[in-house]
Structures are given as structure tokens and as C-alpha cells.
Structure 1
Amino acid sequence: MDHETQTEQQPADRQDDHRRRKAIYLLPNLITTGALFAGFFAIVMAVQDNFVPAAIAVFVAMLLDGMDGRVARMTGTESEFGIQYDSLSDVISFGIAPALIVYLWSLQGMGDRWGMLGAFVFAAAAAIRLARFNVQVETVDKGYFVGLASPAAAAVLMGMVWFFEAHDIPFEAQQGWVWVITITTGLLMVSSFPYFSGKRLSPRLRVSFLSLPIAIIVFVLLLKDFALTLWVLASAYALSAPLWTLTRGLRRRLKRPAS
């Protein structure tokens, strides 16, 4: 091959590379778009005072959000665009949407700016949490999240709204408790508590025999009251890291006098 032929192929290769950089992968980004639409739909439903469909839409966004990354890894279609697009979608679906739903559902009844402040703290914490995750994604342990993940935080609030609305329990009148739950969940997102991510789970993982009856109980509860079970599981996960950290600290203090 002569020099002239080589110079003709090099610009062609560069053009192909440039086209690949400009193109985006359809399948994972289509799933991300579905999650974004679910978050947008949740906001529309909340504005119309349809809080149960709004909460369910956020859970649908969680399901789609868990799919897009896995599909991208399985099909080899990961991209920087997909990562950034997913983060922007998460801010809306798991930050803005839950904050607005809780505000319209309960916090606006506080009659002053405290309700708006509580909702904004949650929304801002979700944005900060996602920005920090993008910065630390290559440096932190894959087995743990630093701070409560935004989908899990949204599940706490949306599980609460879904359960009380589905059972016609006027918990939205308890603005003080709703405010505390919203603020606490938001602060857990920007905390440094280590939360188990589940990324190291595999089909060959061995667990104790107690895990099987627990799984059966959870399955029965899901059939009995789906909304309550989701809320309890999300709340238990949100509290797991602070309780584990507190328990570990107490154990260390008790061991010091003995040593």
C-alpha cells in the first residue's frame, strides 16, 4: 500500500470516529427518556391532585432507571452522553417530582415558607447527591453508595404518599411529621453514610436459611398491601446505614475499656 492510499484512509477513519462521537445509542437512552417521562407525568398528576398515580409514576421511573444502565452494559452501548442524560433525568424524576408531590400533597398546608423550604431541601439534596456521585463514581467502593441514593429517597416519600392516599388516611394533615420525614430523607442523601448498593450480588451468593422465610414474608406482604410494603422497605433501607454506623460506634466504645 503506497503513501497516497494511506493518507486517503486516515481522513476516512477520522470521519468515522467523529460520526461515532456525534451519534448516541438508541436503546439505553430511550429507556432513560421513558424514566424522564414518568417523572414528568408524576408532576402533571400531582398538579391535578391525583397523588396515587403521581407516586406510582415515580416508582415506574425507578424501574426504568434501573434498566437503562444494565441494558447499556449488557449491549456494550455505554457512553458519556448516556451517563449525563441519566443524571439529568434522575434530578427531575427523583428530586423535583417527589419534592413537588409532597409539597402539593401536604407541605403547602403549613401556611408559611417552611413547607416550601422542606420540599426545596429535598430537591437540592437530590441534585447535590447526583453531582457528587458522578464525581466520585471512579473512586468509591462499588459495593456501597456514599449517602442514600436518590431513587431510594424518592421511594420513602412516594411510598408514604401512596399508602396514606390509597387507604384514605389523612396523614397529609400532619405537616410537621411530613416535613421532618422530607428533610431527614434529603439530608441522608448528602450524608456520608455507606449504603449497600447490591451491585456485588450474584446468583451464586450464599445466604443464611433465615433469608428464605424473610423473603416469603415480604412476598406475602406485597400481595397483602403493596404500597405499605414498599414504604416500609424503603424506610428500613434509609435507616439501615445510620443504625449500622451507630451500632458499630457503640461497639467500639464498649471494647475500649475492656482493652
Structure 2
Amino acid sequence: DKRFFQGMPSPSAAALIAGFVWVMVEYGVPGQDVRWLATALALFGGLSMVSNFRYYSGKEINLRKSVPFFAILLIVLAFILVSTSPPEVLFGVFVLYGLSGYGDALWKLLHRKKPSPLQGSEK
């Protein structure tokens, strides 16, 4: 299915780490204070890249044809939101994308169809 990547794409994992560093620099947090959190985040990104979880690829989005006004409005609002506080907003987006593969798998697990009992097994 071309709509999804198998495992988190490496640029997304890199963006997750870069976003974390950007937020820590923005708030003046020394690296020594967050080394375990940074290690956990790097481990999360690395394991997500080699996982079998599905991550949305965005390949089906076609901006060449007519785009609804609501979609344009959402894009403008996203730019406004990012411009208010780029490090925090972008890191939040990267974290949400990183968790989306796990959320998709959990959703499928919770909403899978139960196997129907075999016909004729009653005596």
C-alpha cells in the first residue's frame, strides 16, 4: 500500500531528534540534564524505523487539482501556529507523527473483527 511507509521514515526520526535538541536549546537546558531522555528518544526513533508499524506517507495528497477552501484554511492556520512558537510546535508535530504508527497499530488491534464461530460446531 503506497499510502504508508513500513516503519518510521529516517527523515522523520531525524526531525524528532533535531526538534528535541532545538527545544532544549531554546529553553537553555544543558545536555547533561536530559541525556537519559535524549537516549530514550533516540532509541524510540531507531526502533520505530525498523518496526513493522505503518506510518502515513502523504503520497496520495494531490495539490495539483482543486483544493477545498477548508483545506487551504487549515494550511494557513498551521503556518500561523508554527510561527507563534516554532520549536515547540514542530517538535510536537514530530512526536505525534512518531506515535502515529503505534496508535494506528493499537487502533487496529482494538477494532479488529472477531472470528465468527464455526458453523455446524454445535451438537
**Does TM, scored on the shorter chain, surpass 0.5?**
yes
Q: Which amino acid aligns with 1:231?
A: F
Determine the structure 2 residue equivalent to 1:256. 114
- Contact kept, 8 Å, 1:172 with 1:178, in 2: the verdict is no
Q: Does 1:199 align with 2:59?
A: yes
Pairing 1:40-51 to 2, within 5 Å after superposition: none
Q: Higher helix fraction: Structure 1 or Structure 2?
A: 1
Determine the structure 2 residue equivalent to 1:189. 49
Determine the structure 1 residue equivalent to 2:83. 223
Q: Which moved more, 1:181-190 or 1:200-209?
A: 200-209
- Contact kept, 8 Å, 1:218 with 1:229, in 2: the verdict is no
Q: Which amino acid aligns with 1:156?
A: L
Matched position secondary structure for 2:8: coil
Determine the structure 1 residue equivalent to 2:97. 237
- Contact kept, 8 Å, 2:17 with 2:42, in 1: the verdict is yes
1:148-204 per-position Cα deviation (integer Å, ceiling 9, x unaligned)? 111000000001001110221346512222111110110000001111111221023
Q: Does 1:166 align with 2:26?
A: yes
Pairing 1:4-43 to 2, within 5 Å after superposition: none
Determine the structure 1 residue equivalent to 2:120. none
- Taking the aligned partners of 1:205 and 1:150, their CA distance within structure 2 comes to 31
- What is the number of equivalent residue pairs in this alignment? 116
Deviation, structure 1 residue 250:
0.6
Deviation, structure 1 residue 244:
1.1
Equivalent residue for 2:13, pick from 136, 146, 153: 153
Higher RCO, 1 vs 2 (CA within 8 Å, ≥6 residues apart): 2
Aligned residues with identical type, % of pairs: 30
Matched position secondary structure for 1:256: coil
CA RMSD of aligned residues (A): 2.7
Q: Which amino acid aligns with 1:201?
A: I
- Contact kept, 8 Å, 1:153 with 1:186, in 2: the verdict is yes
Deviation, structure 1 residue 146:
1.0
- Contact kept, 8 Å, 1:142 with 1:199, in 2: the verdict is yes
Pairing 1:136-147 to 2, within 5 Å after superposition: 141-147=1-7
**Structure 1's 167 and 247: CA in aligned 2 closer, same or farther, altered over 3 A?**
same
Deviation, structure 1 residue 214:
4.5
State the TM-score, normalized to the length of structure 1: 0.40
**Structure 1's 257 and 176: CA in aligned 2 closer, same or farther, altered over 3 A?**
same
Q: Which amino acid aligns with 1:144?
A: F
- Contact kept, 8 Å, 2:54 with 2:104, in 1: the verdict is no
Runs of 4+ in 1 over 4 A off after TM superposition: 205-209, 211-214
Deviation, structure 1 residue 248:
1.4
